[in-house]
Structure 1
Amino acid sequence: MLPWMQNHLSGLEYGSVLDLFGGTGSVSFMFKQMGKRVVYNDHLQFNHLIGKALIENDNVHFPEAEINNLFTGVPETDFIRNNFKGIYYTEDENCELEVVAGNIRKLRAGSYKQALAYYALFQACLVKRPFNLFHRANLSIRLAKVDRNFGNKTTWERPFEELMTRYIKEINSAVFVGKEKCRSTCFDALDAPVNVDLVYIDPPYLFNTRGNETSDYLRCYHFLEGLARFSEWESLIDRETINFRMAPEQKNRWIDKESIYESYDLLFEKFRDSIIAISYKKGGIPSVEFLRKQLKRHGRRVSTKTCHYKYALNHQNGNASKNREVLFIAE
């Protein structure tokens, strides 16, 4: 959907962009390629590191000759092996993660080189997981000897070193000098900087008819957040959960059906002097009509564009007619 989105946003007058819920960084990357001054933002530390490596970084590459060094040595801790045995990865893989995560922590803290290594580690961890998530203790899905009609068993079983080598090469090839200086920040959406021409909003999607487990990104990616915040990890774990998720440090207003309406109102007021672009899906909470009315109440001229899309695992996800991306442009 990026070319479709770029087509509709390229005609607007703006030089700076805040990608408020930055996530994977793909939209920020698009804006950087367009020559904009991009502020990538995400409240999760692991995503902030992805933004640092991919968006803020202009010219640093991870030396491919040093990849093997990340896997050399013995584990300095047994934290992952003790806490996540049999949950996400095999015992050998947990030991390997202890080694590589420890070696990444030895790189200069806050450096682009370290951020690049973290990017590769996070991507490797994701592709070795069924559904690319950490919301359930389901290593058994990967290891079971059964006929399969989903997933990628071949990738799940590839060694971490092979996968990290792939992703280091991938991100090295994506590093380029932006026309304007870009940066990565780590704020809650309502605390993010406001001095930008355009704010792009792609919030967690709240389903109207079923649960919202996958809308809670800390729940889904807590293991990656733990790797990014290793020294704090033990104190953040909710040991009442079967898969040792992180306990939220504060209420997440963006996945709460009661507070979400007020949250949007506060957001629209906060960015009253910026163009607002919202990427949304039909059938969610709040409704498309609510968002349109709310933007107009804030004095905006609103236009909407729609585009059909497919999901990765289940292309139509039950009802193809509902799988439409809505792009709000509020000037």
Structure 2
Amino acid sequence: MPDSGIVRTRHAVHVTADPKAVYELIATAEGWPYVFPPTVHVERLDGNSRSERLKIWAFANGEVRSWTSRRELDPSALQVTFRQEISSAPVASMSGEWIVEEAPGGSSVVLLHDFTVVDDDPGAREWVQRAVDTNSKAELAALKSAAESLGAEPRALLSFADHVDIAGPAEAVYDFLWRADLWEERLPHVSRLVLTEPGEDLQTVEMDTRAADGSVHTTTSVRVGFGPDRLVYKQTRVPPLMRAHTGRWAVESTGNGVRASSHHTVVLRPDRVRELLGVDATLDTARDLVRNALGGNSTATLTLAKQAAERAAAH
């Protein structure tokens, strides 16, 4: 690593999967939160199939940071280049490239980064290099896992939504969903909740949730608010049956009020189904269980949000 100027890093992994399938996981940035552990949320600001601007929220050395990046996609060469347009200090500039190539037994993936830091500070340079190194290793390991596991069993990926129509203002519904600090008293299925707010429109939530069978699951989530119509979250600590869980609460105006919906995307762990659910359990068993448990709790939350918003509208 040089004493000053640009720092260049290179990380690589071999993936037992088709190069085009690996490239698609990299190219489809909206799916990163359930593929890459460090990524919390990706917002596509503008673009097309070859060039796009993204706002990304992700962990760097345990802290959630956000930045805006420009990406150029080349599906024929299986390459994606990126450059941060608006960085988060102490990063002054950051760019890089994903390169996917055919290799014996699958694919070779190389991830390159070039970066500089504010005032060329040595301590900041070490901090950023540690974050890049940690995140690159985590992302490549997760990319390998996702490409190989979803390639072998695509039905491990489960997405669904539920909604409730509400005759009340969007602001009241959003407030109910955002004020997780009140959920322990408002939601019967929440038995314990600890909330911190490390930044504006940013929350971390540790929560004990009671399932219909009486079991209690502890989860930790990061939530990003886009009030008054949307908030997104990623569970950073998930139940053992899941590899990943992301979600979105949305509040949309209708002619007679609003429609509040809950969207979930889950990556299941087929290798643990029989261990956790019994020798006769199948992936369908796990999909049904997770669909019913998450959907049931979400619908219960939306129903209580409906009651609160409609009470507010009546006064």
TM-score bracket for the superposition, by shorter chain length:
under 0.3
Q: Which has the higher contact order (CA 8 A, sep 6+)?
A: 1
Normalization by structure 1: what TM-score? Answer: 0.24
TM-score (norm 2): 0.25
The structure with more helix, counted as a fraction of residues:
1
Greater share of residues in strand: 2
